[in-house]
Amino acid sequence: MKGENMNFETMREWLARKLKHADDTMAAAGGTSLEALQQDARSRIVTPAALAEVPTEIGKVVRYVREQRGWTRGDLAELADIDEIEISLIETLEGQDLSPRSLVNVANVCGFSVTRFQQLAKHVEVRSHYAADKGLRFAARSKNVGAVTQEELDAISALVATLSDKALDDR
């Protein structure tokens, strides 16, 4: 398994170098175009490595959903009618304070409960039953340690599922 992970990282580094040059030449001997590689990279399912550098729980869930749906930061920003820099800041800065409008728009586009997303962003008080599940508490309190384990990825996935439950909004 470790060897597979190293191959994935090597391919990721190669792809990053190819995408950085962004010309329209053929990227591989097999004739894959750069556009096809970019589309393929955007449609990948989220991996622990994709979340390793994200410092906050709100950033992790936004990145998780964005990657899962194959969206770029620009795609999500356009769908949420906010600046792309806001998406970048959500995913890269600790302590990023979203405006209420941006928070609601991102929650709606990602399919999250607005109330629960507001709780995660600390815009409203967290009710004790919201974080009752041990896995959800773990994901919500996780700090960036430079790597995300499969257990943490599963916890983030559970947090996304909880955020996606809009039943709390109906109360």
- One digit per residue, the tens of pLDDT, for the chain of length 171 reads 454 444 555 566 766 666 666 554 544 555 566 776 666 665 566 777 778 888 888 999 999 999 888 899 999 999 999 999 999 999 998 877 788 899 999 999 999 998 888 888 887 765 555 444 555 555 555 555 567 777 777 778 888 888 887 766 655
Domain count, the chain: 2
Q: Give the Å distances, CA to CA, from 160 to 4, 19, 89, 124, 146.
A: 27, 29, 19, 18, 21
In the chain, where do the E strands start and end? none
Q: 132 and 54 in one domain?
A: yes
Give the whole-angstrom CA distance, residue 19 versus residue 153: 26
Q: 100 and 21 in one domain?
A: no
Domain hosting 32: range is 2-42
Q: 164 and 88 in one domain?
A: yes
Q: 159 and 94 in one domain?
A: yes
Q: 32 and 106 in one domain?
A: no
Q: 37 and 59 in one domain?
A: no
Q: 32 and 71 in one domain?
A: no
pTM of the predicted protein model? 0.57
